[in-house]
Amino acid sequence: MDGMELEQALHAARALVLADLVADEVADADIVSLVEDAVVHRRWWVEQWPEGAAFVAGLIAQDVQDALLERYGRWPLCPVCTTSGDPHALDVEPELGPDPHWVCPKTAVAVAPVGRLRTSADI
């Protein structure tokens, strides 16, 4: 993988995660900085393992999700289990694979591909 392909994969992954943050109305400057940190970290990772470029979107989504949990709380919240009284975050599946999706860990319902979360007004 050349440098241009690497940058394209990273920028595409960044755009997908930002789209989900915007859809969930949590894309303020501090949170966008978390995305940038995740991209920097994964740039090194994919340079070491170029075959992993197809997995970078799911990994950046997970990195941002982990950073948000530490600082702000769960994200993105599951829209499937809204009446259970137990708010929980969606998981990225597969954990390491192409075509990552946001999935409810309790019901195994695939909610949306990474980058395609809908706004609460759309649900």
pTM: 0.91
Paired strand residues for 102: 92, 112
CA 29, 27, 6, 59 dihedral sign is: positive
pLDDT of residue 44: 92
Phi-psi region of 25 (alpha: psi -120 to 50; beta: other; left: phi over 0): left
pLDDT of residue 19: 97
Burial label, 19 (beta-carbon count in 10 A; 0-12, 13-18, 19+):
middle
pLDDT of residue 120: 56
What gap in Å lies between CA 116 and CA 37, rounded to an integer?
21
pLDDT of residue 3: 81
Provide the edge-to-edge strand list for the sheet that holds 91-93. Answer: 91-93, 101-103, 110-113
pLDDT of residue 4: 87
pLDDT of residue 1: 63
Mean pLDDT by 10 residues, the chain (123 residues): 86 97 93 96 93 95 95 92 84 94 96 88 50
